[in-house]
Amino acid sequence: MTEQLNKLMNESKAARWTALMLVAFTMLSAYFFVDMIAPLQSLLESHYKWEPSVYGFFSGSEYMMNVLGFLILSGIILDKMGIRFTGLTAASVMLIGGLIKLYALTPSFYQGGFAYDFFNSFWTNMPPTAKLASLGYAIFGIGVEMAGITISRAIVKWFRGKEMALAMGMEMATARLGASVAFFFSANFAGVKIVDGIVQGNVLNSVYFGVALLAIGFLTFLTYTFMDKKFDKQIKEDASSEPAEEFKLSDIGKILTNRAFIYISLLCVLFYSGVFPFLKYAVNMMQNKLGVSPEIGGYISGLLPVGTIILTPLIGAYLDNKGKGATIMIGGAALLTIAHLTYALIPLNMPLAIIAILILGIAFSLVPASMWPSIPKIVEDRYLGSAYALIFWIQNIGLMTLPWLVGVVLQAANPGVSERIAAGDATASYDYTMPMLMFAGLGMAAILLGYLLRNEDRKKNYGLDAPNKQN
C-alpha cells in the first residue's frame, strides 16, 4: 500500500497521457492559427491587395522575433523558471499576438482606425494591414516557439525511459490535426466562393475561430500546470529549482561545439523549410496548377498533416522499441525531395497531386518523429531547454526567410501576373516551377546531412539508432 502511495505520477499511464493531451491541445490551437491563412492567400490578394512578396513577408514574420533572439531567451527562461511559468507565458503571448493580427484585418483598422495612420506612414509599398498583421504574427510566433520547446521539455520530463518517441509523435499528431482543420475548413469558415472568376469571402471568420482556439489552448495548459506542480512535489522539486544546476552561458558553447547537434539543427532547418513554407503556398499552387477552387486546394493540402496524424505515432512506437532514428531521417529527406520534384517537373493532375502530398506527409512523419527524441541523447538534461531553443532558433531562420524568398521568386518568375490579378483578370495564374525546385533542393541537402549525422553517431555512440525505451 505504501509503495502504491509513493508511486510517481509518471509511472501511471493515465496520468502521463492525460498530461500529454492537455499540452498537446495547446499546440493544436497554435497550429490551426499558423495555417488558417494559407487557404485564403488568393482572398488576401483580391481583398487586401497582398501580392506574393507581401504574403511571403507576412508568412515569414511568424519567426522574425525569434530569429532576433527571443527564442534563445525563451530557452534560458525555460531552464531557469521551469515548465509551468514558461508555458503559461507562451500561451498568453500567442493569444496577444493573435488578437493584434485579428485587429489588423478588421474594417475598424483599415478604414482609418487606431494606429492606421502610423502603419500607413512608412514602407509604403506594403499595405498597412500586412504590416500590423505581421507584427501580431511575429508576437504570436514568440509564443508558439516558446510553447514548442516547453512542451518538448515537458514530454521528456513525463516520458523519459518510457514511450518518449510515441509521446512526441502523439503530440505532433495532435498539433497537426489543428493544421488539417485549418486546411480543410478555413475556406469554409471564410465563406470563400468564386464569382466571375474572382475569389470572394471574409478572412475574419477564420481568424475569429483561431483566436477562440488559442484561448481554449491557454486554459488546457493552465489545467496541466496543476498536474505538473503535484508531480514536482513528488520528485522534490519546484519551479525555482528546475533544473537543479543553474544555467550558464558557457552551456550554449558546449551545445554549439557538439557536431551531432549541429547536424541535427541543419537537418531540421532544411527539412522544416521544405514543409512549412511549402504549406503556405500549397493551396495557391494547387489552384494555379490544377485550376481548382481554394476549398479543393485546401482539401488536397490538408492531406499532408492528416497522413502525419496516423503515421507519426506509429513511427514513434517503432523508434521506442526498435530504434533506427538516424537512418529514418535519411529516408524522410529522400521522400521530401521526391514529392517536390514531382510538383516541379511532372505535369500535374488530381491523383498525382494527392500522391505527392501523401509522400510528403510520410516524410513529415519520419523525420520529426525520429529527430526530436534524439536531442536528449546528445545533450545533458540540465540544459535541454536551451538545446531545444537553439535548434528551434536555427530552424526559425529558415522558416522566416524562405516564405519571403519564395514569394519574391514566384513574383519574379511571373512578371505582370500580380498586377493582372489586382486589376481583376480572372485568367491570370502563377507558374510554381521555380519555387518547387527550391524546395526539392532543400531535400537533397537534408539527405547529405542525414548521412553525416549517422556517421557521427557511429563514431560517438550516442545511440541515435538505438531504441528509446528502456526495459
Write out pLDDT tens, residues 271-317: 888 888 888 888 888 888 888 887 788 788 888 777 677 777 777 77
Angle at 222 between CA 373 and CA 71, to 5 degrees: 50
Angle at 23 between CA 18 and CA 299, to 5 degrees: 105
Residue 463 — very low, low, confident or very high, per pLDDT cuts 50/70/90? confident
Over residues 329-354, the mean pLDDT reads 91
Of 3 and 82, more confident:
82
Tell me the Cα Rg of the chain: 22
Determine the 3-state secondary structure of 462 from DSSP.
coil
- Tell whether the model's pLDDT for residue 125 goes beyond 90: no
Over residues 211-231, the mean pLDDT reads 93
Does some domain include residue 405? yes
Of 255 and 29, more confident:
29
- Tell whether the model's pLDDT for residue 242 goes beyond 50: no
Determine the 3-state secondary structure of 301 from DSSP.
helix
Does some domain include residue 305? yes
> 106 — alpha (psi -120 to 50), left (phi > 0) or beta?
beta
Confidence at residue 238, expressed as pLDDT on a 0 to 100 scale:
43
- Tell whether the model's pLDDT for residue 69 goes beyond 90: no
Does some domain include residue 274? yes
Buried b (16+ CB within 10 A) or exposed e, 113-134: eeebeebbeeeeebbbbbbbbb
On the question of a cis peptide bond just before residue 243, with omega within 30 degrees of 0, the verdict is: yes
Give the structural domain span for 341. 10-460
Of 411 and 385, more confident:
411
The DSSP code for 12 is S
- Tell whether the model's pLDDT for residue 5 goes beyond 50: no
Of 81 and 343, more confident:
343
Find the helix packing angle between 13-35 and 164-189, rounded to 10°: 40
The C-alpha atoms of residue 152 and residue 71 are separated, in whole angstroms, by 14
Confidence at residue 162, expressed as pLDDT on a 0 to 100 scale:
79
User: pLDDT above 70 covers what percent of the chain?
Assistant: 93
Of 370 and 412, more confident:
412
3-state secondary structure 237-293: CCHHHCCCCCCCHHHHHHHHCCHHHHHHHHHHHHHHHCCHHHHHHHHHHHHHHHCCC
Confidence at residue 249, expressed as pLDDT on a 0 to 100 scale:
57
> At a CB cut-off of 8 Å and minimum separation 6, what does 395 contact?
265, 268, 269, 272, 273
Which segment of 281-285, 288-292, 370-374, 391-395 scores lowest on mean pLDDT?
A: 370-374
Does some domain include residue 471? no
Contact 384/247 with Cβ under 8 angstroms? no
Q: How many domains does the chain have?
A: 1
Does some domain include residue 379? yes
Residue 210 — very low, low, confident or very high, per pLDDT cuts 50/70/90? very high
Q: What is the pTM of this model?
A: 0.74
Contact 26/176 with Cβ under 8 angstroms? no
Does some domain include residue 467? no
- Tell whether the model's pLDDT for residue 103 goes beyond 80: yes
Q: Give how far Cα 337 sits from Cα of 48, 74, 111, Å.
A: 34, 32, 45
* Phi, psi angles (nearest 5°) of residue 191: 65, 40
Q: 430 burial class (0-12, 13-18, 19+ CB within 10 angstroms)?
A: buried
Does some domain include residue 240? yes
Does some domain include residue 16? yes
Q: Give how far Cα 184 sits from Cα of 31, 197, 306, Å.
A: 13, 22, 10
Query: What CATH number is associated with residue 208?
Result: 1.20.1250.20
The rounded mean pLDDT for the chain is 84
Over residues 178-188, the mean pLDDT reads 86
The owner of cell 511571373 is 414
- Tell whether the model's pLDDT for residue 253 goes beyond 90: no
The owner of cell 527564442 is 71
- From the CB of residue 7, how many other CB atoms can be counted at a distance below 10 Å? 12
Confidence at residue 250, expressed as pLDDT on a 0 to 100 scale:
63
Strands 193-195 and 198-200: antiparallel
